[in-house]
């Protein structure tokens, strides 16, 4: 019985990890490496800073509001998108850096 429950839990965790993807969008030359992306609810986006100066990642969109703070070259931070909708992600330091995330 114990074995059965463990197996079910393991399968469940595997299926969750298979379903939720992690996308990577860099910050390079004062721009996000993509202008827009469509992802599934529950997916994450990792934002590596590839510029030799600080960037920030934040959003004030209704469906997802977050602030990853500012970080230097070589550092990455991730955010999970757990609600459907459109999210505008920006760098507060360089506000012309914009990414549109469509969460389905």
Q: In this structure, are residues 56 and 62 in contact, taking their beta carbons and an 8 Å threshold? A: no
Q: Which is nearer to another protein, 74 or 95 (CB)?
A: 95
Is residue 93 involved in binding another protein (CB under 8 A)? Answer: yes
SS3 state of residue 67 = strand
Which residues are CB-contacts of 10 (< 8 A; sequence separation ≥ 6)? none
Region 13-52 residues binding another protein, contact defined as CB under 8 A: 30, 52
Nearer to another protein, 19 or 72 (CB): 72
With binding defined as CB under 8 A, does residue 53 bind another protein? Answer: yes
69 binds another protein (CB under 8 A): yes
Residue 49 CB coordination number (10 Å): 22
| Residue 31, number of CB atoms within 10 A of its CB | 16
Q: Which residues would be at the binding site for another protein (CB under 8 A)?
A: 30, 52-54, 56, 58, 60, 67, 69-70, 72, 90, 92-96
């Amino acid at each position: 019985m114990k074995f059965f429950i463990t197996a079910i839990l393991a399968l469940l965790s595997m299926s969750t990890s298979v379903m939720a993807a992690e996308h990577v969008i860099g910050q390079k030359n004062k721009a996000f490496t993509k202008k827009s992306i469509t992802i599934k609810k529950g997916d994450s986006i990792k934002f590596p800073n590839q510029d030799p100066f600080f960037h920030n990642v934040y959003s004030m969109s209704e469906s997802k509001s977050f602030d990853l703070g500012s970080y230097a070259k070589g550092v990455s931070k991730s955010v999970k998108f757990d609600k459907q909708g459109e999210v505008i992600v920006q760098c507060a330091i360089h506000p012309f850096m914009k990414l549109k995330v469509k969460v389905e």
